[in-house]
Amino acid sequence: MLPAHARLTRRPEFASTIKRGRRAGRTSLVVHLDPTRPGGVPEHASPRAGFVVSKAVGNAVVRHRVSRRLRHLVADRLDGLPPGSALVVRALPPAAGASSAELGRDLDSALGAARRPRRPRDGTR
C-alpha cells in the first residue's frame, strides 16, 4: 500500500507532472516522471505517485483491480525514484487483461525509459 504522504492527490499536481515530466508508454500503461522538485518541496522529500485509470479500462471492479495492482507495484519501486520526484501512471485498456507480472514488466520498462536522458535533437531526420 502507498502511504498517504507518497500519493499525488490534487489535480494541479497531476497536471504539472504530466506537462513537465518525461513520458514513456508501453502496451498496458504510460508513465509520466517529473524528477524536478517544485518550489517549496524539501530536497529530502520522498517521491510521490498518482494513478489514472479511466472508464476505457473497464467497469468499476476492473478499474479498482488495476489500480490496486499498480499501487502495489509502484510502492515497491518508489525508493528507486529521485527524492522529491512525481510519478503519474496512466493505465491503458490492455491493463484490464494483464497479469501483475506483465504490468510489472511494463512499469519497469517505462520507468527505465523515462529516467534515461533525452537525446539532443540535431535537426536532421
Rg (CA), the chain: 15
pLDDT of amino acid 89? 97
Amino acid identity, position 65: R
DSSP per-residue string spanning 105-116: HHHHHHHHHHHS
Percent of the chain with pLDDT over 70: 87
| Burial degree of 56 (CB within 10 A; 0-12, 13-18, 19+) | exposed
Matching residue, cell 522529500:
45
Identify which has the larger pLDDT, 4 or 66.
66
CA of residue 49 relative to chain centroid, distance: 6
Please report, to the nearest 10 degrees, the dihedral formed by the alpha carbons of residues 78, 17, 60, 96 taken in order. Answer: -70
The 10s digit of each residue's pLDDT in 113-122 is 998 877 666 6
Identify which has the larger pLDDT, 38 or 7.
7
The 10s digit of each residue's pLDDT in 74-111 is 999 998 998 889 999 999 999 999 999 999 999 999 99
pTM: 0.86
d(CA 98, CA 109) in angstroms, rounded, equals: 15
Q: Is the pLDDT of residue 63 over 70?
A: yes
d(CA 85, CA 41) in angstroms, rounded, equals: 10
Q: What are phi and psi of 30, to 5 degrees?
A: -130, 135
91 bridge partner residues: 29
Domains of the chain: 6-115 (3.30.230.10)
C-alpha cell at 110: 517505462
In which band, very low, low, confident or very high, does the pLDDT at 47 lie, cut at 50, 70 and 90?
very high
